[in-house]
Amino acid sequence: MENHVTQVAFKVNGEEHTLDIDNRFTLLDILRDKLNLTGAKKGCDLGECGACTVILDGKAVNSCQILAVKIASSEIKTIEGLNQGNTLHPLQISFIENDGGQCGYCTPGFIMGAYPLFESRRNVSVEEIRLALAGNLCRCNAYGAIIDSVVGAIGIKADG
Ligand code: FES
Ligand code: FES
């Protein structure tokens, strides 16, 4: 094996993968270019837009900022892993119902950014939702509808 390549085993959306990974590649590169999971977008590639957000061991991360060789034994969830068969995830349904996406480029990142809050099954406040999504940018300026979409899926505290 060439010395700039490392064999890494990890799980994506519940499926095991073992790949020989170029040490320079990011998690986003692997998802998009090796596994054909193109829901996570390469917006800035600099950690500034959140379009590449996925869940890594339960936390929302910018996958463009994670070297793929660091994900050994990790569990990753992408937007492609949210639906149950033909049934969309409540966050996906709420984004449709609340018009949370215009061009849709940022939408997977916002949904994955909100996913840990949804999974926490807590009654969160709008402020908590805003904070969780503070690193995500929407060039269509759909922020109001995006927050409404997350609120619609998660519910908020009475004082939220
Ligand atoms: S593409 Fe990763 S933060 Fe913009
Ligand atoms: S809906 Fe277009 S970038 Fe957000």
Q: How many helices (H) and strands (E) does the chain have?
A: 5, 5
Domain span holding position 75: 5-81
Which residues sit opposite 21 in a β-bridge? 6
Q: Any idea what the CATH number is for the domain that residue 48 is in?
A: 3.10.20.30
Order across the sheet with 75-77: list the strands. Answer: 15-22, 5-12, 75-77, 53-56, 59-62
SS3 33: helix
**Tens digit of each residue's pLDDT (9 = 90 or more) over 46-71:** 999 999 999 999 999 999 999 999 99
**Tens digit of each residue's pLDDT (9 = 90 or more) over 110-138:** 999 999 999 998 889 999 999 999 999 99
CA atoms within 13 A on the CB side of 96: 6
| Whether residues 77 and 95 fall in one domain | no
Task: Report the chain's mean pLDDT, rounded to a whole number.
Answer: 95
Residue 159: inside a domain, yes or no? no
Ligand 1, residue 53: give the atom nearest the CA: 2
The residue count for the chain: 160
Best residue among 56, 64, 138 to mutate for probing ligand 1's pocket (most ligand atoms within 8 Å of CB) is: 64
How far apart are alpha carbons 118 and 90 in whole angstroms?
A: 9
| Whether residues 105 and 69 fall in one domain | no
Ligand 1 contact, 113 CB (< 6 A): no
Residue 160: inside a domain, yes or no? no
How far apart are alpha carbons 111 and 91 in whole angstroms?
A: 6
| Whether residues 112 and 143 fall in one domain | yes
Query: For residue 65, how far is the Cα from the chain centroid?
Result: 13
How far is ligand 2, taken at its centre, from the CA of residue 108, in Å?
10
Per-residue pLDDT, 156: 79
**Tens digit of each residue's pLDDT (9 = 90 or more) over 64-106:** 999 999 999 999 999 999 999 999 999 999 999 999 999 999 9
How far apart are alpha carbons 85 and 19 in whole angstroms?
A: 26
Per-residue pLDDT, 160: 43
Is residue 157 predicted with pLDDT exceeding 70? no
| Whether residues 70 and 113 fall in one domain | no
Per-residue pLDDT, 155: 85
| Whether residues 69 and 97 fall in one domain | no
Ligand 2, residue 101: give the atom nearest the CA: 1
**What does the block give as tokens for 71?**
């994900």
Ligand 2 contact, 104 CB (< 6 A): yes
**Tens digit of each residue's pLDDT (9 = 90 or more) over 1-50:** 567 999 999 999 999 999 999 999 999 999 999 999 999 999 999 999 99
| Whether residues 97 and 52 fall in one domain | no
